[in-house]
Amino acid sequence: MATKLYIGGLPYSTTEDSLREAFAQAGEVASASIIMDKMTNRSRGFGFVEMVNDADAAKAIEMWNGKDFEGRRLTVNEARPLEARAPRREFGGRGQGSSY
């Protein structure tokens, strides 16, 4: 089963290809993605790498956590499941407490 890793502290210039190549040193990479800001289309400085098996994931954590990558120190650990978030509040003036 694939293991998803959180990669924090990425330089803004990092590409998904360079991230995939770096983590391929630890084993087979199923996918690599960098999270982009919707407004600026610039990297948010973190991403995810999915390793094909648990042994490769453990090796990748050991190999990269706290290590330098393109001039920045990485934080690498197993990704936590996405938590459900509360619905967004509207601030358009039509909700509770509106004095229009």
- Please write the tens of the pLDDT for every residue from 15-53: 999 999 999 999 999 999 999 999 999 999 999 999 999
Is residue 91 one of the residues assigned to a domain?
no
What is the pTM assigned to this prediction?
Answer: 0.79
CATH number of the domain to which 66 belongs: 3.30.70.330
How many domains does one find in the chain? 1
16 contacts: CB under 8 Å, gap ≥ 6: 32, 33, 34, 47
Domain carrying residue 72: 3-78
d(CA 76, CA 79) in angstroms, rounded, equals 9
Q: Is the dihedral of CA 36, 20, 79, 4 positive or negative?
A: positive
pLDDT classification of 86: cutoffs 50, 70, 90: confident
Residue 25 in any domain: the answer is yes
User: Is 85 a member of any domain?
Assistant: no
